[in-house]
Amino acid sequence: MEPESRKDDDDNLLGWGLDLEVSGTREKRVGEWKKPAPSSNSGGRRTRISKKQFGSGEDGAWDKFYAQKGIKFFKDRHNLRKFFPELLPEYQRDNPEEHHPKLKPDPDAYENGLDTPPADEVLADKLLVVEAGCGVGNACFPLLRANPEMFMFSFDFSKVAVDFLRSNAEYDPTRVFAFVGDLTKESDITSIVGRGKASFVTMIWVLSALTPESMPAAVLEANALLKKGGSVLLRDYAVGDLAQIRKCGYTTPVAPGLLRRGDGTIAYFFDIDGLKHLFESNGFKTEYIHYVDRQLENRKREIQMYRRWIQAKFEKIVE
């Protein structure tokens, strides 16, 4: 989800290898992961951290990132169709890697402009998905191609990213509505989407970009968006990932699990217990949660990188 260039390509992969689809790499499963020893600089303390201290999406870091990197930094996330088959029609789930042609919007679809949310009749009988942290559309377009019955509300901190998404030739207002929004602000997203309407909220490397104190508000807003039985689908950084080990030695001097990149953006590294507690304390039950351990190999540079992510599904509790 950097104006300052990384010292080398390896740093670039570590800081921004947000999934397996990173140019020049291949992956394979690795053996059991072992938790590293805590860094001596942490002292075992937990420090309250704020947006003012550590930055947020509101400080312009993401706008600067997308203004410099444009639309080609992240590859399209076709693999989400495999990781989260519930986003596909049943007839597609046995073959999630099937090729689907690009969307071809009807020119008449733009008659109401890009700033008007869709009318209720557009959403009728659609699978409604809210995408938090949409970036420039690397996730929404592959999903929309594979599921013609899906409508996505896609939002991001960054106006630059949203403008890129809206300018894409595949952008079809009858299939997706992209807007600038902040999941940590009460009613910021529900004022556009409505309360209790979405079947799914996707958080793909999104929650880790928030400060820990902001995360409960984001989870509560996601809960408000979901209808009865709706779920959050999440994939994010996990403790022990090489990006964390190499750059901050398991914990940072500021707060455990929190890393600040040179460009001003942040990354939080989750463990299973902490992530479960975050959601289960804010109106969800855990459907599943697990670590994803991978070894990435950059064949050109002959570098092996051990990556660790967390994947989870949380269902809204309705009392």
Residue 65, domain member (yes or no): yes
- Reported residue count of the chain is 319
The answer to whether residue 41 sits within a structural domain is yes
Provide the residue range defining the domain that includes 246. Answer: 9-316
How much is the pLDDT for 108? 77
Query: Does residue 279 have a pLDDT over 50?
Result: yes
| Confidence band of 64 (pLDDT split at 50, 70, 90) | confident
pTM of the model: 0.79
Is 77 contained in some domain?
A: yes
Between the alpha carbon of residue 61 and those of residues 66, 92, 261, 263, the distances in Å are 9, 38, 10, 7
Residue 279 inside a domain? The answer is yes
69-86: per-residue pLDDT in tens? Answer: 766 767 778 889 999 999
- 3 state DSSP class of 100: coil
CATH number for position 144: 3.40.50.150
Interval 179-210: pLDDT, tens:
999 999 988 999 999 999 999 999 999 999 99
The pLDDT, as a whole number, for residue 248 is: 55
User: Is 287 a domain residue?
Assistant: yes
Q: Would you say residue 31 lies in a domain?
A: yes
Token pair 């409960």 is found at 216
pLDDT digits 0-9 by tens, 130-173 = 999 999 889 999 999 999 999 999 999 989 999 999 999 999 99
pLDDT tens by residue, 86-140: 999 999 899 898 889 999 988 876 667 788 898 888 899 999 999 999 998 899 9
Q: Per the domain annotation, does 4 fall within a domain?
A: no
**Please, which contacts does 295-298 make with residues 24 or more away whose CB atoms are closer than 8 Å?**
295/27, 295/28, 295/29, 295/30, 296/13, 296/17, 296/20, 296/22, 296/25, 296/26, 296/27, 297/25, 297/26, 297/27, 297/28, 298/9, 298/10, 298/13, 298/24, 298/25
Number of domains in the chain: 1
Domain-embedded: residue 1: no
Q: Are strands 127-132 and 150-156 parallel, antiparallel or unpaired?
A: parallel
Which residues contact residue 81 at a Cβ distance below 8 angstroms, ignoring those fewer than 6 apart?
Answer: 87, 88, 92, 96, 97, 142, 143, 146
